[in-house]
């Protein structure tokens, strides 16, 4: 895959997508969003890819936000189109059949925080900073931040971050549940790769259905969510992976999952 603003590397069942605009602190413009959409659409159908890591080039920023120089002169109709493009791309990432891990190095602000939140979970370097500082620019979040942030950290904490525009460090992000782990900067990608490889050798259909169960079940009442889970559990029993996984367990050997 050829891109102007992304780097894509695939190894051992894991794809690493790097937003590569370091001079702009990896800020998101329309072209970068379109490339992210193309990259993730292609990776979803790539049979060798079992898990995906999303990160930013360099040590200063995961994604510093939307590209202000791009947004500065947008008129309302164009601004709506830009917001809808970002929301479309992030929803593709959020609902992708394969797990996506955000490896957050440096600033994850505005659109960068929104992009990280669209991933399944987040690992943060010690130097990471998170925030939704859009109110400092006289605007609201546009790529889903007002919706995903309260679902992750609760309504009160989300409103405080959204209303003040304050930034928080990696440890505070971990404390409030925005990130899963905080690791030294030099260990970030290694930790992300280890986690992704661990997922990659699990039953891929089961991982996919787990993601489906969480994403869709959270939008349901508890009883309906449990009923939905039971249907997905039953569906697993129609797969070769389920037979292989249980046989391997009985035979005390590693399972060889084929995704069927």
Element (H, E) at 7: strand 6-11
The pTM score is 0.94
Residue pLDDT, tens place only, 142-171 = 999 999 999 999 999 999 999 999 999 999
pLDDT value of position 21: 94
Q: In terms of DSSP H, where are the helices of the chain?
A: 30-45, 68-71, 76-95, 111-118, 145-153, 155-164, 170-175, 188-200, 204-217, 222-236, 240-250
Average pLDDT for 242-257:
92
Q: How many CB atoms lie within 10 A of CB 76?
A: 7
Residue pLDDT, tens place only, 63-121 = 999 888 888 898 999 999 999 999 999 999 999 999 999 999 999 999 999 999 999 99
pLDDT value of position 27: 94
Residue pLDDT, tens place only, 170-226 = 999 999 999 999 999 999 999 999 999 999 999 999 999 999 999 999 889 999 999
Listed by start position, the domains of the chain span 6-200, 204-250
Tokens matching residue 119: 């991933």
The class that CATH gives domain 204-250 is: mainly alpha
Average pLDDT for 228-251:
93
172 a catalytic residue: no
Q: Which of 44, 114, 126, 160 is catalytic?
A: 114
Q: Which of 44, 134, 160, 240 is catalytic?
A: 134
pLDDT value of position 242: 93
Q: Is there a shared CATH topology between the 6-200 domain and the 204-250 domain?
A: no
Q: How many CB atoms lie within 10 A of CB 104?
A: 33
Tokens matching residue 38: 């193309």
Residue 93 in contact with residue 118, Cβ under 8 Å? yes
Statement: residue 260 has pLDDT above 90: no
Statement: residue 1 has pLDDT above 90: no
Tokens matching residue 12: 């051992």
Beta strand pairing call for 167-169 and 14-19 = unpaired
Residue 113 in contact with residue 132, Cβ under 8 Å? yes
Residue 114 in contact with residue 93, Cβ under 8 Å? no
pLDDT value of position 67: 84
Pick one of 2.40.370.10, 3.40.50.1000, 3.90.226.10, 3.40.50.10470 as the CATH number of 6-200.
3.90.226.10
Burial of 172 (0-12, 13-18, 19+ CB in 10 A): middle
229 a catalytic residue: no
Backbone angles phi and psi of 177, in degrees to 5: 90, 15
Residue 179 in contact with residue 104, Cβ under 8 Å? yes
Residue 56 in contact with residue 125, Cβ under 8 Å? no
CA atoms of 167 and 91, how far apart (whole Å):
24
Task: Report which DSSP code applies to 165.
Answer: -
Beta strand pairing call for 6-11 and 181-183 = unpaired
User: What percent of the chain clears pLDDT 70, i.e. is strictly above it?
Assistant: 100
pLDDT value of position 69: 86
Statement: residue 259 has pLDDT above 90: no
Tell me the average pLDDT of the chain. 95
- Helices 204-217/240-250 angle, 10° precision: 110
Statement: residue 32 has pLDDT above 80: yes
pLDDT category at 50 given cuts 50, 70, 90 is very high
Average pLDDT for 218-244:
93
CA atoms of 40 and 36, how far apart (whole Å):
6
pLDDT value of position 24: 92
């Amino acid at each position: 895959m050829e891109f102007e603003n992304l780097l894509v590397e695939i190894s051992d069942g894991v794809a690493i997508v790097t937003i590569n605009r370091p001079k702009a602190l990896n800020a998101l413009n329309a072209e970068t969003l379109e490339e992210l959409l193309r990259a993730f659409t292609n990776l979803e159908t790539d049979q060798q890819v079992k898990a995906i890591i999303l990160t930013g080039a360099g040590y200063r920023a995961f994604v510093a936000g939307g590209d202000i120089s791009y947004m500065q002169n947008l008129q309302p109709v164009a601004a709506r189109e830009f917001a809808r493009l970002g929301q479309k791309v992030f929803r593709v990432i959020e609902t992708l059949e394969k797990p996506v891990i955000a490896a957050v190095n440096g600033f994850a602000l505005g659109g960068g925080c929104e992009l990280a939140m669209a991933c399944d979970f987040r690992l943060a370097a010690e130097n990471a900073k998170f925030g939704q500082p859009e109110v400092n620019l006289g605007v609201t979040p546009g790529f889903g931040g007002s919706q995903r942030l309260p679902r992750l950290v609760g309504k009160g904490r989300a409103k405080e971050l959204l209303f003040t525009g304050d930034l928080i460090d990696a440890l505070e992000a971990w404390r409030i549940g925005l990130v899963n782990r905080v690791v030294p900067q030099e260990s970030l990608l290694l930790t992300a790769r280890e986690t992704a490889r661990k997922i990659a050798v699990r039953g891929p259909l089961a991982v996919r259905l787990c993601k489906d169960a969480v994403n869709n079940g959270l939008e349901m009442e508890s009883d309906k969510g449990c009923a939905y889970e039971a249907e997905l559990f039953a569906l697993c029993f129609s797969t070769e992976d389920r037979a292989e996984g249980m046989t391997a367990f009985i035979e005390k050997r590693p399972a060889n999952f084929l995704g069927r």
